[in-house]
């Protein structure tokens, strides 16, 4: 069981094709310093991150090369901090959208039908479009490269049933921290303005369950969402930790029942006023038992200081971390029972049972998955075919969805070890 949970939180990295990996990369030194600081801070705290959370804008223009570079850099970051690439959990931002696709007339027409909807009809219109084969394909086409990237972490999105990503971590008392990533970029394009974006109705379906505490990631803050007020009211009731990106300014709002963190950008534009790159580390722990339980949250905000150049702690009244203590509902893990799991269509869990040792049963699959996605499409197809993990129904699915189904079938058919051996052999 996790005693003191540690989460590394990044946002707005903006890997930009034409700059990344070149001698003229304006952020090369900054990334190197972030790696160095994150490694030092994890060593100081005394543990590796249990998850590396990226709240959108991984890429700059949604390009395949940008996501490929992101995978390599995140692997280096994870290694420096003592964890694996499989710990990464991502959501999309507006820069992860391919703008040339989002600007197509048919896509813009769909966007306008959502933006023009009256509040009482909004959820019905979004649900209808995300359930229609042609409309959902058009709305999500611009996220194609993102989904290929996110698929290796089982964070890919496919409407209508999988419009949010979900993963569980386990506290020391057996209770769950359920991480849910929302998609606020499916109506994003070059014409984004505050209030013009939306989350879909599934974002309002987090359940308050015994022994489950929610952490939610959404790239866009409430002010950028046309249904932001409704989302704010809902999340304030059900989620203990809220993480946002997009605005490049770090802010922390501690409330009685939740902590909200607006992240700074790992790579803000150098011409932005008050340029302040940063990232966050969050320590979470459940204290007490039964009727006397609390969630303690310590947010370490690391910001770049110039002259001398280094990452330093943003302080709260002289302290190097922002501390919150939130009262939790009474709960004791019942013997021989399980903690409730997410809905099957969205879950990245292996089955309905919580694992005995408090580990996510998809951990081993993610470690295989990140290696599987490093292979060529032909290598992946050959492995899936050899193990009979491809079905006729997969023919019209995007590549990331076919890969997901390969892993789900391998798990269902007790072929995970065989899949691991084939991936390892192909990667040599």
Cβ(40)–Cβ(72) below 8 Å: no
Domain spans of the chain, in order of start: 5-327, 375-426
**Closest to 125 in 3D by CA, of 218, 222, 205, 227:** 227
The reported pLDDT for the residue numbered 3 is 56
93-127 b/e (C-beta count within 10 Å ≥ 16 → b): bbbbbbeebbeeeebeebbeebbebeeeebbebbb
Can you say how many angstroms the Cα of residue 37 is from the centroid of all Cα atoms in its chain? 22
Choices 3.40.1410.10, 3.40.50.150, 3.60.21.10, 3.90.79.10: CATH for 5-327: 3.60.21.10
d(CA 400, CA 129): 22
What is the Cα–Cα distance from 233 to 222, expressed in whole angstroms? 10
pLDDT of residue 335: 78
Q: Give the pLDDT confidence score for residue 395 in this predicted structure.
A: 87
Contact 9, 279 (CB under 8 A): yes
What pLDDT, on the 0 to 100 scale, is given for residue 165? 96
Encoding tokens for residue 230? 């409704």
Indicate the pTM of the whole model.
0.92
Secondary structure (3-state) at 79: helix
Q: How many CB atoms lie within 10 A of CB 208?
A: 11
Taking the chain (428 residues) in consecutive chunks of 10 residues, what is each chunk's mean pLDDT? Answer: 81 95 92 96 96 97 96 97 96 97 97 96 97 96 97 96 95 94 97 96 96 97 97 97 95 94 92 90 94 95 94 94 95 71 46 41 81 92 95 90 93 94 89
- How many CB atoms sit inside 10 A of residue 305's CB? 13
State the pLDDT at residue 361.
56
Contacts of residue 193, Cβ cutoff 8 Å, sequence gap at least 6: none
CB 300 within 8 A of CB 281: yes
250-259: buried (b, 16+ CB within 10 Å) or exposed (e) per residue? bebebeeebb
pLDDT of residue 355: 40
Strands 294-305 and 278-287: antiparallel
Structure confidence at residue 351 (pLDDT): 33
What's the token pair of residue 329?
A: 């509902």
Dihedral angle at the C-alpha atoms of 28, 29, 32, 36, nearest 10 degrees? -170
* Residue owning tokens 């034409």: 18
pLDDT at 427: 81
Strand partners, 280: 9, 301
pLDDT value at residue 360:
55
∠ CA 330-333-338, nearest 5°, is 125
> Within 13 A of 296's CA, how many CA atoms are on the CB side?
12
Structure tokens at 148: 């290929």
The β-bridge partners of 15 are 59
How many residues are there in the chain?
A: 428
- Look at residue 349 in the predicted model and tell me its pLDDT: 38
* Pairing status of strand 176-182 against strand 51-55: unpaired
């Amino acid at each position: 069981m996790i005693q003191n949970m540690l989460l590394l939180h990044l946002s707005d990295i903006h890997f930009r094709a034409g700059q990344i990996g070149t001698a003229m990369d304006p952020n090369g030194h900054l990334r190197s310093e972030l790696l160095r600081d994150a490694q030092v801070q994890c060593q100081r705290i005394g543990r590796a991150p249990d998850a590396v959370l990226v709240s959108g804008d991984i890429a700059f223009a949604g390009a395949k090369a940008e996501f490929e570079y992101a995978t390599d850099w995140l692997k280096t970051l994870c290694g420096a901090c003592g964890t694996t690439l499989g710990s990464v959990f991502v959501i999309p931002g507006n820069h992860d959208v391919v703008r040339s696709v989002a600007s197509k007339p048919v896509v813009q027409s769909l966007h306008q039908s959502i933006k023009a909807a009256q509040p009482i009809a909004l959820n019905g219109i979004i649900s209808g479009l995300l359930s229609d084969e042609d409309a959902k394909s058009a709305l999500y086409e611009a996220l194609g490269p993102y989904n290929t990237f996110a698929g290796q972490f089982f964070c890919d999105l496919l409407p209508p049933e999988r419009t949010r990503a979900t993963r569980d971590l386990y506290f020391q008392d057996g209770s769950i921290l359920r991480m849910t990533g929302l998609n606020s970029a499916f109506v994003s394009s070059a014409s984004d303005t505050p209030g013009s974006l939306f989350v879909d109705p599934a974002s309002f379906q987090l359940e308050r369950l015994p022994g489950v505490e929610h952490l939610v990631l959404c790239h866009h803050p409430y002010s950028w969402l046309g249904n932001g007020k409704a989302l704010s009211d809902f999340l304030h009731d059900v989620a203990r930790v809220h993480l946002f990106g997009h605005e490049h300014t770090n802010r922390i709002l501690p409330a009685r029942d939740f902590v909200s963190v607006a992240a700074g950008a790992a790579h803000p534009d150098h011409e932005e006023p008050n340029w302040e790159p940063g990232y966050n580390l969050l320590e979470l722990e459940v204290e007490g038992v039964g009727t006397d339980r609390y969630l303690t949250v310590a947010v370490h905000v690391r910001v770049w200081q110039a002259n001398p150049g280094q990452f330093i702690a943003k302080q709260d009244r002289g302290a190097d971390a922002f501390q919150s203590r939130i009262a939790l509902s009474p709960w004791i893990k019942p013997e021989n029972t399980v903690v409730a799991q997410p809905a099957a269509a969205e879950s990245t869990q292996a089955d309905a049972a919580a694992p005995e040792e408090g580990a996510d049963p998809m951990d081993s699959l993610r470690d295989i998955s990140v290696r599987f996605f490093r292979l060529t499409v032909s290598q992946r197809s050959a492995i899936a075919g050899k193990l009979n993990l491809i079905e006729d129904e997969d023919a019209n699915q995007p590549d990331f969805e076919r890969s997901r189904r390969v892993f789900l079938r391998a798990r269902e058919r007790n072929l995970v070890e065989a899949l691991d051996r084939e991936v390892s052999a192909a990667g040599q």
